[in-house]
Amino acid sequence: MGIAGNKFDLFSIEEVTEEEGKQLADEIGAFFYLTSAKESVGINELFIEVAKRFINYQNNKQNNTEDDNLRTKLSNKSLVKKKKCC
């Protein structure tokens, strides 16, 4: 999970400080990045972090057999019964 403080270029009117963002991220076990699409600050780093964590999550999920019991198995059969005509 992560938190992105967007519009970093408008720091003079920030409503949440960097310290508050970091503190909340620490409390919930998330990462925190300040970003500005306008100034191209932190965007690449944010997406790289998200990708890394997603890959780690997928790898851990595949290695954890307990997760198999929580998965929904899908089939090619329709889940909705079709009514027969006439």
Q: The CATH number of 2-63 is which of 3.40.47.10, 3.30.420.270, 3.40.50.300, 3.30.930.10?
A: 3.40.50.300
pLDDT at 11: 63
d(CA 10, CA 28): 26
Task: Tell me the average pLDDT across 9-18.
Answer: 71
Here the tokens at position 76 are 């090619």
Q: What is the pTM of this model?
A: 0.54
CA R_g for the chain: 21
Greater model confidence, 63 or 30: 30
- pLDDT digits 0-9 by tens, 19-58: 888 898 889 888 888 888 888 888 988 899 889 989 988 8
CA separation for the pair 29, 53 (Å, rounded): 13
- For residue 9, how many C-alpha atoms fall within 13 Å in the half-sphere facing its CB? 8
Question: Domain map of the chain by residue range?
Answer: 2-63
Provide the pLDDT for residue 18: 81
The Cα–Cα gap between 27 and 30 comes to 8
pLDDT score recorded for residue 77: 57
